[in-house]
């Protein structure tokens, strides 16, 4: 089984695919509005510090596990000790639950692409979004369509599916983002938007903001669910983990900041609230595009960009589960993909209906969509990440030396891995629950 494990055809393909996984709705949709809600520049500084010094550790741990064991997430933990297989299963549950709400948003994106393609832009988007998302059939259909479009790539395999998709979509994505960000900078609100992002107001600094920044950092780096581990297991033997991890972090942060540079000047030019929340991408942005010359063109670029970002992340979520099904259920890649699609479609339908007929169906006071979003981001991710740090720090002899190398940096990372990061994660978990 190990011998015919796929391998990225080049180091660049590996980096592009992991960046494709990391860069997603988390960067373009979630990051700007969370930053908007948490005071702008102060949040950005906290986030960058957390990502560079804290999140780098579990990121390296997952890449290291992938490189050392070259297995799917369940067999990786089984190889460390058979009784640890449950950790792998927990990762698989998490990474199968995330697309169940993430792809609902993917379905909305498909709908907006259609709206801007047909040039039908004269809507009141608040009413439009609410009436569209509360329908029964169309949002469900589009969620499943998005799921199927994503599943084509893991179905075709690592080299001829996943790698090709990322190598094509990621460069297009970056070009579109830079075009929109460049355009946003020419708007009258550019100065105000940039000041909001880069001029810190330290009175905004507080505990909740730090926790939110950490949760966002874990989510955006796709840490804590075996995705990075799975992509890492396809890496070439001579890949340097710490360097790859920092490259990934740099690209991911660059894209999140560019997304902010694209969004905030527009927000301030049209007098919208930067903290508009979930609705920022689906109500405020299209509303603003509609007032610009070439409305359809800018709207279309924005939603195609969101589409590329979300599909490349979606591919990595599905691949984590598919890879685990192939090796543990001993089925072919094609059957494993069909099984994954089947499970996700069952759960994503009630998630999609959470905005309409199931609006009042609540578990723990949350709709199915909110419950999936909240429990994965605030409980499963930090919990799984904590376990991954503890296992790699304490249960695999010399793991840190193999991954971080010896010397001062290696030693420092070892202390972070064994003590500091776990303590912070326990703190996050207690507060999150
Ligand atoms: N990192 C992705 C984003 O920012 C989300 C993701 C989560 C991707 C889990 C893969 C696995 O949108």
Residues 6+ apart with CB under 8 A from 49: none
> Are the CB atoms for 422 and 385 separated by under 8 Å?
no
What is the distance in A from the centroid of ligand 1 to the CA of 99? 9
What is the distance in A from the centroid of ligand 1 to the CA of 374? 14
DSSP-derived secondary structure letter, 177: H
Q: From atom 11 of ligand 1, which residue's Cα is the shortest distance away? A: 222
Q: What is the pLDDT along the chain (433 residues), one digit of tens a residue?
A: 445 789 999 999 999 999 999 999 999 988 988 888 888 999 999 999 999 999 999 999 999 999 999 999 999 999 999 999 999 999 999 999 999 999 999 999 999 999 989 887 767 888 889 899 999 999 999 999 999 999 999 999 999 999 999 999 999 999 999 999 999 999 898 999 999 999 888 888 888 888 889 889 999 999 999 999 999 999 998 999 999 999 999 999 999 999 999 998 888 888 887 776 667 888 888 888 887 778 788 899 999 999 999 999 999 999 999 999 999 999 999 999 999 999 999 999 999 999 999 888 999 989 999 999 888 988 899 999 999 999 999 999 888 888 888 888 888 999 999 999 999 999 888 887 6
* Pocket of ligand 1 from Cβ distances under 6 Å: 21-22, 24-27, 95, 98, 219-220, 222, 225, 227, 313, 316-317
Which atom of ligand 1 is the closest one to the Cα of 24?
12
What is the distance in A from the centroid of ligand 1 to the CA of 137? 26
What is the distance in A from the centroid of ligand 1 to the CA of 220? 5
> Are the CB atoms for 220 and 39 separated by under 8 Å?
no
Write the CA distances from 245 to 32, 397, 411, integer angstroms: 23, 22, 17
> Are the CB atoms for 60 and 413 separated by under 8 Å?
yes
Q: Which CATH number fits domain 11-375: 1.10.4160.10, 1.10.3720.10, 3.40.50.2300, 3.20.20.140?
A: 1.10.4160.10
Per-position DSSP letters for 285-327, written without gaps between them: HHHHHHTSTTHHHHHHHHHHHHHHHHHHHHHHHHHHHHHHHHH
Q: Which of 18, 31, 220 to mutate to test the pocket of ligand 1 (most atoms within 8 A of CB)?
A: 220
Domain locations in the chain? Answer: 11-375
This prediction's pTM: 0.93
Query: CB 51: neighbour CB atoms within 10 A?
Result: 23
Q: Which of 26, 31, 315 to mutate to test the pocket of ligand 1 (most atoms within 8 A of CB)?
A: 26
């Amino acid at each position: 089984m190990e011998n015919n494990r796929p391998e990225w055809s080049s180091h660049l393909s590996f980096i592009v695919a992991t960046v494709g996984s990391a860069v997603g709705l988390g960067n373009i949709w979630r990051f700007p509005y969370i930053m908007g809600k948490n005071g702008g520049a102060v949040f950005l500084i906290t986030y960058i510090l957390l990502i560079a010094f804290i999140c780098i550790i579990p990121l390296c741990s997952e890449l290291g596990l992938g490189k050392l064991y070259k297995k799917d997430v369940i067999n990786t933990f089984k190889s460390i000790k058979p009784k640890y297989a449950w950790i792998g299963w927990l990762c698989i549950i998490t990474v199968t639950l995330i697309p169940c709400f993430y792809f609902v948003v993917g379905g909305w994106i498909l709908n907006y692409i259609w709206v801007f393609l047909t040039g039908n832009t004269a809507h009141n988007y608040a009413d439009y979004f609410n009436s569209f998302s509360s329908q029964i059939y169309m949002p469900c259909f589009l969620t499943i369509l998005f799921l199927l479009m994503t599943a084509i790539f893991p179905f075709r395999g690592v080299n001829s599916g996943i790698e090709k998709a990322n190598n094509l979509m990621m460069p297009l994505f970056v070009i579109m983002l830079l075009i929109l960000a460049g355009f946003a900078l020419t708007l009258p609100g550019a100065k105000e938007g940039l000041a909001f992002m880069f001029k810190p107001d330290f009175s905004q600094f507080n505990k909740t903001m730090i926790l939110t920044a950490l949760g966002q950092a874990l989510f955006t780096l796709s840490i804590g669910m075996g995705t990075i581990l799975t992509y890492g297991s396809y890496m070439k033997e001579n890949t340097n983990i710490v360097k790859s991890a920092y490259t990934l972090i740099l690209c991911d942060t660059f894209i999140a900041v560019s997304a902010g540079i694209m969004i905030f000047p527009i927000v301030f030019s049209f007098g919208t609230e930067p903290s508009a929340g979930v609705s920022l991408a689906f109500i405020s942005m299209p509303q603003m595009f509609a007032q610009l010359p070439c409305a359809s063109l800018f709207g279309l670029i924005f939603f195609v960009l969101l589409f590329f970002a979300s599909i490349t992340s979606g591919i990595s979520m599905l691949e984590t589960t598919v890879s685990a099904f192939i090796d543990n259920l001993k089925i072919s890649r094609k059957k494993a993909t069909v099984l994954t699609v089947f499970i996700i479609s069952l759960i994503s339908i009630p998630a999609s209906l959470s905005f309409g007929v199931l609006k009042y169906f609540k578990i723990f006071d949350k709709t199915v969509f909110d419950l999936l979003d909240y429990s994965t981001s605030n409980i499963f991710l930090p919990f799984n990440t904590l376990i991954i740090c503890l296992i790699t720090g304490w249960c695999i002899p010399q793991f840190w030396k193999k991954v971080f190398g010896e010397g001062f940096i290696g030693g420092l990372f070892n202390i972070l891995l064994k003590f500091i990061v776990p303590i912070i994660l326990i703190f996050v978990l207690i507060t999150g629950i």
